Structure 1
């Protein structure tokens, strides 16, 4: 069970979103204590913006590793550095390396980023999103058998979309597939992943709410619920529960 600590969320999403190196380290430690076995994080600048700068990535990795002994990975999402060339230079400049990094295969420059990460000894999570041409691009990639795993992200709450995405990804790459959803699809897709026996993830990047619709207080609370089996089939909500 991977914990996704913060994603592209900011303080505007609530005070429970960890943003600073110390806050991320504390959140990671609590989530690992709740059952997480892997960490995915978006390092942030002091103003809360996702960054690939070595001056931002390094301190976050060091802080988290001081608190947990599991693998720690970061994003290389294009929103953190839109220019593919500049993004490549940022990754090349990292002085503290993550154990793995996600590379969204539908984004410009994905192949080059993945190749550089592999060259530097960093595991690649091949991010393949539903609703994009990521699966088709990944199927043609000469790197498809060299990635650490495929990160299959379903961008709507429907199981049919998840099954279609898994079919597109196929099995010829021989790599593990981590299946997860986001927002209102986070819990339904997590339950499907558990049913299919696939690795999955949970955390404040993917949803701010528990299966019963209550707002989550922490990553640890979300992970604890996920490890217990996603609330025994409770329905997910991406809106606050009504007052009773």
Structure 2
């Protein structure tokens, strides 16, 4: 069991590649938007900032390092938060595209999806009455016939070129029970060493549902596979499931992730105006539960990160 004195790491996923501009006027799209929301989230208590990039012209997801360079250094200079760069990108990006900026930045942390999956939000297209840009509708509807690819060889390559060669550690994104076993395979092969940071994800179509029982199954399975002292458990609840599942995770000794990548809402029918609003809400819940929030340096120590001085960005 996690030690009672452990603090809770709040991660914030600022923009992602799933939601589109028509879904919320508050979704950060430009480098200025992303930088501002990330900095505000860090000030509100997020120890880790999980970052994607978007084309500033129309908000579509982009892997372009030149766009990342317009906001990542600004965030680094304004905060001491751990910068976590996606290697997931989007379902339409190749592995080479997804790795382009992480290999350049050599960050302390990157996300790593632990398997291929039918990742989709295509039913959401039926709820949108008016699209802001021409790319949005085919992008969302097209997810119905796309697979997010991360084969065992893909994962092995990421572990080598980012983990071994760059000293980057990973937020292991597990969308299903089998993803924990995929991670255990790489641990058994000696390609991954602890402490592990396991991000269990609930509520994405194609992955595990948001049932509270599934959170218990993921937690107990991770205990069996890795031993509770050898990993840090974190939870991401998609959409309306965000705050209830995060509260449950915290009570179970886990860490939490918020942000407009994961949910556009602050409460029922209430759009979040910023990522910082979600950070402040979950922080308030944690503190009401008498749980302490980890600082960035405390998170670095808990996760065995190399430190911001070893990052090239």
Checking the alignment, whether the CA contact within 8 Å between 1:125 and 1:147 is kept in structure 2 is no
Checking the alignment, whether the CA contact within 8 Å between 2:14 and 2:51 is kept in structure 1 is yes
Instruction: Please give the alpha-carbon distance, in whole angstroms, between the structure 1 residues aligned to 2:241 and 2:99.
Output: 34
Instruction: Please give the alpha-carbon distance, in whole angstroms, between the structure 2 residues aligned to 1:22 and 1:88.
Output: 22
Please name the residue that 2:185 is paired with: 140
Instruction: Please give the alpha-carbon distance, in whole angstroms, between the structure 2 residues aligned to 1:229 and 1:144.
Output: 33
User: 1 or 2, which has the higher helix percentage?
Assistant: 2
* 1:6 counterpart = 2:51: no
Please name the residue that 1:83 is paired with: 94
Structure 1: give runs of 5+ residues left out of the alignment: 234-244
Structure 2: give runs of 5+ residues left out of the alignment: 1-9, 116-149, 204-208, 290-313
Instruction: Render the CA deviation track for 1:99-155: whole Å, top value 9, x for unaligned.
Output: 21101011221221122111212221111112x631221111133425651111122
Q: Which has the higher contact order (CA 8 A, sep 6+)?
A: 2
Find the residue that maps to 1:164 and give its secondary structure.
helix
Q: Select the structure of larger CA radius of gyration.
A: 2
Find the residue that maps to 2:25 and give its secondary structure.
coil
Instruction: Please give the alpha-carbon distance, in whole angstroms, between the structure 2 residues aligned to 1:135 and 1:90.
Output: 26
Greater than 4 Å deviation, 4+ residue runs: 230-233
2:201 to 129, 149, 153: 153
Task: State the TM-score, normalized to the length of structure 2.
Answer: 0.66
Instruction: Render the CA deviation track for 1:224-244: whole Å, top value 9, x for unaligned.
Output: 1111117979xxxxxxxxxxx
Please name the residue that 1:45 is paired with: 55
**How many residues are paired up?**
230
Residues 23 and 59 from structure 1, CA distance in 2 versus in 1: closer, same or farther, beyond 3 angstroms? same
Instruction: Please give the alpha-carbon distance, in whole angstroms, between the structure 2 residues aligned to 1:117 and 1:220.
Output: 29
Instruction: Please give the alpha-carbon distance, in whole angstroms, between the structure 1 residues aligned to 2:250 and 2:184.
Output: 25
State how 1:129-208 maps to structure 2 within 5 Å. Answer: 129-130=175-176, 133-141=178-186, 142=189, 143-146=191-194, 149-155=197-203, 156-170=209-223, 172=226, 174-208=230-264
Instruction: Please give the alpha-carbon distance, in whole angstroms, between the structure 1 residues aligned to 2:83 and 2:100.
Output: 18
RMSD between aligned residues: 2.5
State how 1:20-39 maps to structure 2 within 5 Å. Answer: 20-39=30-49
Larger deviation: 72-81 or 5-14?
A: 72-81
Task: State the TM-score, normalized to the length of structure 1.
Answer: 0.83
Instruction: Please give the alpha-carbon distance, in whole angstroms, between the structure 2 residues aligned to 1:175 and 1:133.
Output: 17
1:104 to 113, 122, 125: 113
Please name the residue that 1:215 is paired with: 271
Q: Give 1:185 shift.
A: 1.7
Residues 221 and 188 from structure 1, CA distance in 2 versus in 1: closer, same or farther, beyond 3 angstroms? same
Please name the residue that 1:128 is paired with: 174
Checking the alignment, whether the CA contact within 8 Å between 1:149 and 1:176 is kept in structure 2 is yes
Instruction: Please give the alpha-carbon distance, in whole angstroms, between the structure 2 residues aligned to 1:194 and 1:168.
Output: 17
* 1:227 counterpart = 2:272: no
Q: Give 1:55 shift.
A: 2.0
Checking the alignment, whether the CA contact within 8 Å between 1:4 and 1:41 is kept in structure 2 is yes
Instruction: Please give the alpha-carbon distance, in whole angstroms, between the structure 2 residues aligned to 1:83 and 1:147.
Output: 29
Residues 60 and 99 from structure 1, CA distance in 2 versus in 1: closer, same or farther, beyond 3 angstroms? farther
Checking the alignment, whether the CA contact within 8 Å between 1:210 and 1:216 is kept in structure 2 is yes
